[in-house]
Amino acid sequence: MKTTFKRILVGVDDSADALLAFEYAIQQAVQTDAELVIVSILENDDMNVYQALNKDFVHGERDELQQHLAKYQKQAEAAGAKKVRTLIAEGEPGETIVKDVIPHLQPDLLIIGSIAKKGLARHFGSQAAYMAKYSPISVLVIR
């Protein structure tokens, strides 16, 4: 029995692994004619207190991220994905994706990279492990 995916969620953060995951997600979406949802997380703890309290700063960060995700969307559409949308969520990546994004979107598959772009203290490896352990759906971790 072959599992077919109707909605694929892919997490992006510009790390090399996330870019590989994104390319793989596009291929999967094109092959199975699935909807592709590209998610990125605005991490509040990356901001200092002044920035977090400054709504203009947060709004600017979100706008910048939205423009960045639009490039991912264009790339996916250019590669042949027919149904593509983007989503920005706020919080800690693993927890936010598992507890907020997945229940909201109801995807069939989550595709993520194994290592994040951020410094040593926050390897997405731990985020990927968290998502693989606690996700209510199948998770594909790309290396």
What does the alpha-carbon distance between residue 71 and residue 44 come to, in Å, rounded to a whole number?
A: 23
| DSSP per-residue letters across 107-131 | -SEEEEESS-SS-GGG-HHHHHHHH
- Token readout for 85 is 């949308």
- 33 compared with 61, residue with greater pLDDT: 33
| CA count, 13 A, side-chain hemisphere, 57 | 11
What is the distance between the alpha carbons of residues 102 and 15, in angstroms, rounded to a whole number? 22
pLDDT tens digits for range 79-119: 999 999 999 998 888 999 999 999 999 999 999 998 765 54
d(CA 142, CA 39): 16
Residue 56: predicted pLDDT: 74
Residue 125 has pLDDT above 60, yes or no: no
pLDDT above 90 covers what percent of the chain?
A: 60
Q: Decide if pLDDT at 120 tops 50.
A: no
Least confident of 25-34, 59-68, 97-106, 127-136: 59-68
45 pLDDT band, cuts 50/70/90, is low
Residue-range definition of the domain harbouring residue 13:
7-142
CA distance 114 to 28: 18
Mean pLDDT over 24-40 rounds to 97
Q: State the average pLDDT over residues 35-53.
A: 78
Which pTM was predicted? 0.87
Is 92 a domain residue?
A: yes
Is it the case that residue 37 has pLDDT exceeding 90? yes
pLDDT, residue 42, reads 86
Instruction: Judge whether 46 lies within some domain.
Output: yes
Mean pLDDT of the chain: 86
Domain count of the fold of the chain:
1
In a domain, 78, yes or no: yes
- The answer to whether residue 36 sits within a structural domain is yes
pLDDT of residue 115: 73
Angle of helix 55-78 relative to helix 16-32, nearest 10 degrees?
50
Residue 51 falls within a domain, yes or no? yes
Asked whether residue 1 is assigned to any structural domain, the reply reads: no
